[in-house]
């Protein structure tokens, strides 16, 4: 069992439950929102979660199926969307941390402990710890990564319809050659993050 799995088990063995996992999708793209999810699982070691893993390791079709599994079976789920405007105003890291706080506070069940992927949540009243590669080894964080990723991908497919020609359904707002060419041809949209260097250079 990995050290991160031992963290989950040690917390449960000590009677520290429920445990929430938190993860985000969309720190890197130059367009679209940042999406943060928090998930509480009654038993992270139950067979129901055997296929849950880091969203980046799963196909888009499989993520959609597992999204429903988590939404239907998790004890609690919250989803927070941080707009490009807020990212521009506060910076992506500060906006991400605030989104994590909001995601935990939006849970109907108050967690006794919070495990996050990569970044501890400063200013959170609940004890929390950042787990290295948490989305790969902590089930609740993996579940949160799936919820955040699928939610954001769905938003970007909607943005593809709202702003045709940019290819948002494909690259999801990340910087690609095709995306860059589209920006040069069609201009900057309201969903582009104007504080990002490649977008700021065009304004």
Q: Which domain holds residue 133?
A: 3-200
Total tally of structural domains belonging to the chain: 1
The torsion of the CA quartet 92, 68, 62, 64, rounded to 10 degrees, works out to -50
Query: Per-residue pLDDT tens for 47-101?
Result: 889 899 878 889 999 999 999 999 999 999 999 999 999 999 999 999 999 999 9
Tokens (6 digits) for 154: 């769905």
Number of Cα atoms under 13 Å in the Cβ half of residue 28: 6
Query: Per-residue pLDDT tens for 91-131?
Result: 999 999 999 999 999 999 999 999 998 888 988 889 999 99
Q: CATH code at 9?
A: 3.30.420.10
Backbone dihedral angles phi then psi of residue 196, each to the nearest 5 degrees: -75, 140
Pairing state of beta strands 128-131 and 113-117?
Answer: parallel
Q: Please, which residues have CB within 8 angstroms of residue 89's CB and are 6 or more apart in sequence?
A: 95
pTM here is 0.94
């Amino acid at each position: 069992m990995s050290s991160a799995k031992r963290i989950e088990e040690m917390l449960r063995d000590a009677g520290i439950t429920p445990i929430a996992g938190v993860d985000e999708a969309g720190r890197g793209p130059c367009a679209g929102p940042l999406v943060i999810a928090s998930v509480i699982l009654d038993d992270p070691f139950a067979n129901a979660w055997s296929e849950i893993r880091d969203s980046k390791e799963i196909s888009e079709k499989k993520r959609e199926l597992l999204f429903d599994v988590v939404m239907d079976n998790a004890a609690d789920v919250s989803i927070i969307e941080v707009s490009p405007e807020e990212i521009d105003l506060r910076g992506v890291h500060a906006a991400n941390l605030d989104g994590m706080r909001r995601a935990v506070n939006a849970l109907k069940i108050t967690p006794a402990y919070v495990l996050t992927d990569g970044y501890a949540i400063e200013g959170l009243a609940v004890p929390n710890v950042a787990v290295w590669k948490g989305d790969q080894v902590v089930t609740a964080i993996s579940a949160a990564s799936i919820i955040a990723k699928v939610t954001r991908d769905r938003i970007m497919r909607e943005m593809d319809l709202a702003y045709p020609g940019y290819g948002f359904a494909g690259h999801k707002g990340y910087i690609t050659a095709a995306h860059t060419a589209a920006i040069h041809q069609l201009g900057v949209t309201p969903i582009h993050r104007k504080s990002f260097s490649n977008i700021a250079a065009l304004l």
